[in-house]
Copies of this chain bind each other. A is one copy, B any other.
Amino acid sequence: MMGVVLVIIDGLGDEYIESLGGTPLDYASSRMRALNTMAAEGVCGIMHPISPGVPPSSDIGHLAIFGYDIRREYPGRGYFEAMGAGIRLKDGVAFRVNLATVERRGRNLIVIDRRAGRISGSDAEELYRALDAAIKERGLQAEIVHTFEHRGVLILRGEELCGAVCDTDPHEVGVPVLAAEPWDEISSGLREIAARVAAMINEITRLSYDVLEHHDINARRRREGLPPANIILVRGGGVARRIASFREKWGMRAAFVAAGPLYKGIARALGMDEMHVEGATGTPNTNLPGKVEACIRALDMGYDFVYLHIKGTDNLSHDKKPLEKAKFLMRIDEALSPLLDLEDVLIVVTGDHATSSIRGRHIGLPVPIVFWGTTHRDNVTRFSERECSRGCLGVLRGKDVMPLIMDLTDRSAELGTRPSKNLLLL
């Protein structure tokens, strides 16, 4: 059976950038070789991860592409974040956390930077540890751990917990930090539990400001002109839930190559096996050739399906750096070229959503997609949003990707046929 490499370039699509004369991918694609070869020799389309105008978070975009039903099978982001940090949730509830920069104004805390200048390394590590110690000291049934850069996971322990509370993260700057509260549409049975969880989050958020605002590291950061990481922003509650594994769903043995904790968490939750790559960081300075090499190694090891995640494009869009995004796309293109030497492998390249390098946020425009390694082809010769929209696959949704992979690798069964699993015996 044909192997599959699915490359998800995070936040691949974008808007028209005046100075680039197109999207970052338009700009990059005039100098790309591997991806344009795939477009020329394969079949293309554009893809709305969910539906037109609906910008998904990365985990939801991924799950849709992996063929999961978001309404029925989504356990909440925190679950994946915890899995990514190597934490087993059991009865608890986990939340995604950012270290962020706020300024006090009266009784409000105004968000200045949702990522505290992408604080990372030992600074971030130490601040998370200080907050965790304060949580323990106060006797709260909770822990907080650093994952990567500004990111972390907050876990509330205990029985009868749920993730149905609103984000304290306002998702924009210049506005106050929000108070966690139960979702509006919650069932009355869960409301009391959610209210308890929300109260804990609000207590820990206030505590984070107390602990971090005057922490030595932030005093030093201020002296160095860096934004202090003086609060945590909380979002995306999730509880442990049994999800059908990728193999149960699609019958393929899957491995993954990803550095970002969320993406590791998703892949682990779906039962994919991890391929370790030295120097893979989940940022633009990642070891791209190493990641591609790991994909080839996984195929050699007999995996049917390899998921490769590249995160840096999304970071650069959030930071409103379209030219750097375009340059990073060129490096991705170069790194992917060894895949063109593979035989009997389907290579699929797409994104989990578009991210605007102008607006610095996920947007609801479609992303291009290419399938290379099939016997089919169309008229597209360049891998970009506008060129792929002329591809023979037309306009896809995220949920169409896996059925197309199954079909293009001869794994699909004709709808209406139903071979038995048992043999007829004489």
- Once A54-B403, A374-B15, A423-B176 are accepted as A-B contacts, the answer to whether A171 and B417 lie under 8 Å apart by CB is yes
Residues of B within 8 A of A209 (CB): 426
Q: Shortest CB–CB separation between residue A154 and chain B, in angstroms?
A: 15
Verify if A362 is at the interface (C-beta below 8 Å from B): yes
Residues of B within 8 A of A285 (CB): none
Residues of B within 8 A of A401 (CB): 53
Residues of B within 8 A of A15 (CB): 374-376
Task: Give the CA-CA distance A265 to B392 in the complex, in Å.
Answer: 33
Q: Identify which of residues 353-401 in chain A touch chain B, using a CB-to-CB cut-off of 8 Å.
A: 356, 358-359, 361-366, 374-379, 385-386, 389-396, 400-401
Residues of B within 8 A of A48 (CB): 394
Task: Give the CA-CA distance A419 to B175 in the complex, in Å.
Answer: 12
Is B176 in contact with A377, judged by CB distance below 8 angstroms? no
Verify if A422 is at the interface (C-beta below 8 Å from B): yes
Q: Shortest CB–CB separation between residue A80 and chain B, in angstroms?
A: 11
Task: Give the CA-CA distance A401 to B43 in the complex, in Å.
Answer: 24
Is A426 in contact with B389, judged by CB distance below 8 angstroms? no
Residue of B206, B378, B420 near A168 (CB, 8 A) is B420
Is A16 in contact with B377, judged by CB distance below 8 angstroms? yes
Verify if A149 is at the interface (C-beta below 8 Å from B): no
- Once A392-B385, A425-B107 are accepted as A-B contacts, the answer to whether A167 and B57 lie under 8 Å apart by CB is no
Residues of B within 8 A of A396 (CB): 52
Verify if A291 is at the interface (C-beta below 8 Å from B): no
Is B375 in contact with A379, judged by CB distance below 8 angstroms? no
Verify if A424 is at the interface (C-beta below 8 Å from B): yes
Task: Give the CA-CA distance A364 to B108 in the complex, in Å.
Answer: 54
Residues of B within 8 A of A134 (CB): none
Residues of B within 8 A of A56 (CB): 414-416
Is A180 in contact with B420, judged by CB distance below 8 angstroms? yes
Q: Identify which of residues 11-59 in chain A touch chain B, using a CB-to-CB cut-off of 8 Å.
A: 15-16, 43, 46, 48, 50-57, 59
Q: A205-B424, A206-B424, A209-B426 given; name 4 further pairs at CB < 8 Å.
A: A46-B392, A54-B415, A178-B420, A356-B375
Task: Give the CA-CA distance A81 to B141 in the complex, in Å.
Answer: 60
Q: Shortest CB–CB separation between residue A200 and chain B, in angstroms?
A: 13
Residues of B within 8 A of A391 (CB): 389
Q: Give 15 CB contacts A-B under 8 Å.
A: A51-B400, A52-B394, A55-B407, A56-B415, A70-B415, A108-B426, A168-B424, A235-B417, A358-B375, A359-B375, A359-B410, A362-B414, A364-B412, A365-B393, A394-B395
